[in-house]
Structure 1
Amino acid sequence: QRTFVLYSEMAPVIIAYRVLEQKQKLRRDWNGHENPALEDAEWAALHEQHAQPTVACMRRMLGSYVKLGQFLALRPDIVPDVWTKELRTLENAVPPQATDLVRDTIRRSYDVESIHEIFKTFDDTPLGSASIGQVHRATLLDGREVAVKVQYGAGNERIMRDDIRNGKRAATLLAPEQVAILDEIEAQFATEFDYRAEAKHLAEVRANLKRAGFVRDSHVRRGAVDVPRPVAELCTKDVLVMSYMRGENLVDGIQRLGDRAAAREGVPFETLKKRMLLVDGLFNGDPHAGNFLLLENGAIGCIDYGQVKRLSDAERHWLCRCYVALATEDVAKLRSLAAEIGM
């Protein structure tokens, strides 16, 4: 059924774009010149025609369709504005899983008869749900307040992997230049379905930011950054237990405070991103707005490290040289750097 949807609803959209692409090429060849205004209008009309119904289909199919949509929503450099606006609606598109299934996963992961052998309290209403799992608030037996991330069943992993494989087959035929995007998403799946890997990422990112002076364990305050602390002994393939952070979506917090107040009270976001990218070489590979919180104490909360990217020393050094060349407007140096990676 999912393969049928791919070819019956998604493929015609790709074909429509290919047809317009060829139509414009033939017209340019025939006339001997371009008509930018006409071509832009044709593309705009096609975007308006297909963006909303296609994203609605992705929302209906869930799984890797939503994952792909969320990935593309982060790429306004390659995705038209009309599409980006629709794709951003997928950020909170996943309905929560049934309570019984969540509790079954927890019992199976810890081999216990009752989840209360692990948790004193467990809120069945999720704090949020995504394509691979959902997060619940709970209290450990020792009284610590935690967030518990519970993965959906093994069937969900199989379906999502099948979706990507089928998508790559379709892209190979209809849009081969898009296969690289699907390859990247497929590669991310290698660790995202094992929460033990995410626990390690959280611990490493927290240590990096603490070493830089952004995280202050003794007194997390305004102007600082916080990252959940994994409870290592309770982290399994399907369940991730970490410290609970009180806060709100970063965008909502900025809107409430106002841009100037938010800028006064927090670490400059660009500073944080550059530290992760250029110094630590480990950063969030899925940095949408839902993965950052404005905490009650004024700190920025960085959450969800299921997807990370890691840069080698050579890659970080290359990026640093690019930044310097851009800042100094050294065009010759930029050309040389581009040639180093075959561009």
Structure 2
Amino acid sequence: MGIKGSATCVMNFDGAKGWLVGEENKGLAAMFTMMNYERLGVGIQGIGAAEASLQSAREYANERIQSRAPTGAQQPEKAADPILVHPDVRRMLLTMKSYVEGGRAFSTYVAQWLDISKYSQDDEQRKHAEGMVALLTPVAKAFLTDRGLDTTIIGQQVFGGHGFIREWGQEQLVRDCRITQIYEGTNGIQAMDLMGRKVVGSQGKLYELFVQDVATFIEANTGDAALKPYLEPLAAAVERLSDVTEHVIKQAGDNPNAIGAAAVDYLDMFGYTALAYMWAKTVKAAAPKAEADTSGFYTGKLKTARFYFDRLLPKTLSLAEGIRSGSDAMMALAANEI
């Protein structure tokens, strides 16, 4: 389907002889010495495809002319305005930009914890970082690749019919990004790992590490005027996620289907909340430099953060309601009713 440059094939080992590497029944633990890095790398692969799609879509939206802006002609000397003037095209491009730049910040955030867990000389700090890595790795792999595919599809949509043909390259990015949801552990398995092993399995202790990190950031920046519009909705999103976390932990004690029913929506909700945290951090870094910015780089960051909080973070509300509904509706059908 995609990644044509990869020598992907079926390999048969029927009748082959194998040699034990390491200790018996310890193979999975050995594999995981590199798995967290690999899963973060796949998340970054998803963001990379999304970034390429965004760059092409942004350029196309500036060049392609069609109709006039709802507020009147923006380039009256031309036969029509660039499609960039239309609100729905803005919605698509800003959604792409929100996912790509927020996702890139999140991948760096997770990579920092990976580095601390490997290189810190402080035992307590290293143990704390290991907990953060365990919690955040499935989110980085699954959420970034899910939103990566979403972004490549949106980028294809910006092109309209041109996006469906090979000439423009957008369709290849959709095909190439699709594998990232599958290999290094399918995203459904990542969600089960997060919900089952990391959250319910630790009775919320690993989850609390992330909550404490966000709470520390909010408390440290309560006096920052630029951050004021973001801290309250960020705190509300974390509280909503915490309520849902507690709800699933309680459900799981009585209902063996609770974890599987909640897992994918929970990972998405966690991801949207984590990206809100990343965008708040971005505002803190960009705001002091925005006033003198003539390039649009820093001012663009601030305005994209506003879009993310207004239009994308509210998705956590519907996700929370779906999680709270439990497993009854999805498990009610017999096999012949599906």
TM over 0.5: no
Q: TM-score, normalised by structure 1?
A: 0.30
Which structure shows the bigger proportion of residues in helix conformation? 2
Work out which structure has the larger RCO, using CA pairs closer than 8 Å and 6 or more positions apart in sequence. Answer: 2
